[in-house]
Amino acid sequence: SGTTKEKVLQALLALPQEAYVSGEQLATACGISRTAIWKAIQTLEQDGYDIESVRKKGYRLASSKDFVDRAHIAQHLQTKHIGQVIHYYKEVTSTQIIASDLVQQNAPHGTVVIAEAQTAGRGRMAREWDSAAGKGIWMTIILRPDLPPHQAPQFTLVAAVAVVNAMKSLYPTITPEIKWPNDILINGKKTTGILTEMIAEADRVQALLVGIGINVNQQKEHFPEELQSIATSLRMEAGEVLDRAALVAEICRYMENYSEQYVTYGFSRLKTLWEEASGTIGKNIRATTLREVLEGTAVGITEDGVLQLRLANGDVRGIYSADIEL
Ligand code: BT5
């Protein structure tokens, strides 16, 4: 059962480096049979935990440097809610799909779904999201804010500021910038995409699925050819391999802070932070909406998160949803 699995995992996480725990010790500690322990170990392996089992010694979590599983993230985590529950997988279709199932099973506020690889990672409007195995952060944060549905889309902006500032705090040499509404670019190339989806009741948000995809440790050849000229990774920009688990924890920390501010005070508090993190404001852009193509200067963002575009004739238009080119 879930609780046996949790107990076994806790016991494995609590082990000192290089130490093993035997099946018998686990059985005694958890108050269950050896068979139940063995089954729990198998379930954990299916969940993506890398468990070493050595004859006569017992079990331990394999100590690999580069996984984004709970054990690695927990080492860095400083939050109350976001990331306190983590569902980790080696491979999923899309963390958005897993997260939406977990919402139906009452997953608590702050639950993180994260995978080493996605076979059907998605962007907006059913576009594909390339999710190379073991190279990026492919995660969905489940939030349950008490808000009306119309305030949900702004979480994309909240998440974008959180990701930019988490990146800057850990890696001061890189220069990530938000491209409205949901991209983060470094030197003009896309390193991150954000997809916020909502599960709503009549007039309240039931849950938000904030999907965050970050290229971390890819090199150019890890991207499919059509992305090589438009995508980049933090490693390509920073010149070194980075610790994905540490970045996940830092994003959780910023996300917890900013989403609480947003729920309590609205977007006005975060507007300045957003504008500071943005590479869009002040630029000439072309915005392609579902209805038309507009060109002008991005002059700011409203309290509701609507991009303000000044056209050649001086009119200022609010852009609610569009793809933009700088
Ligand atoms: C996005 O869509 O940028 C949102 C991407 C969200 C991905 C996360 S990963 C965790 C969670 N689970 C999911 O299944 N999704 C979320 P959009 O603005 O529509 O941009 C999609 C476009 O970005 C594609 O059409 C490509 O041109 C480009 N693209 C695809 N994969 C990329 C990558 N790894 N890096 C940079 N650009 C990429």
Residue whose CB lies within 8 A of the most ligand 1 atoms, among 128, 129, 140, for a mutation test? 129
Q: Is the CB of 215 under 6 A from ligand 1?
A: yes
* Shortest-distance atom of ligand 1 to CA 124: 19
DSSP symbols for 49-118: --EEEETTTEEEE---SS--SHHHHHTT---SSTTTSEEEEEEES-HHHHHHHHHHTTPPTT-EEEEEEE
Q: Which residue has its alpha carbon closest to ligand 1 atom 35? A: 231
Instruction: Pick left, alpha or beta for residue 83 (phi over 0 → left; psi -120 to 50 → alpha; otherwise beta).
Output: left
What was the ipTM of the complex prediction? Answer: 0.99
Q: What is the pLDDT of residues 102-129, one digit of tens each?
A: 999 999 999 999 999 999 999 999 999 9
Q: Is 165 in the pocket of ligand 1 (CB under 6 A)?
A: no
The answer to whether domain 284-325 has CATH 2.30.30.100 is yes
Q: Residue ranges of the domains in the chain? A: 2-61, 70-277, 284-325
Q: Could you read off the pLDDT of 275-306 as tens digits, one per residue?
A: 999 999 999 999 999 999 999 999 999 988 89
Mean per-residue pLDDT over the chain, rounded? 94
CATH number among 1.20.120.330, 3.90.226.10, 3.40.50.2000, 1.10.10.10, domain 2-61: 1.10.10.10
Which of ligand 1's atoms lies nearest the C-alpha of 136? Answer: 34
Instruction: Determine if ligand 1 sits within 6 Å of the CB of residue 231.
Output: yes
Q: What sign does the dihedral 264-266-269-270 (CA atoms) show?
A: positive
CA of 36 from ligand 1 middle (Å) equals 40
Q: Domain 70-277 belongs to what topology? A: BirA Bifunctional Protein; domain 2 (3.30.930)
* Cα 290 from Cα 175, distance rounded (Å): 31
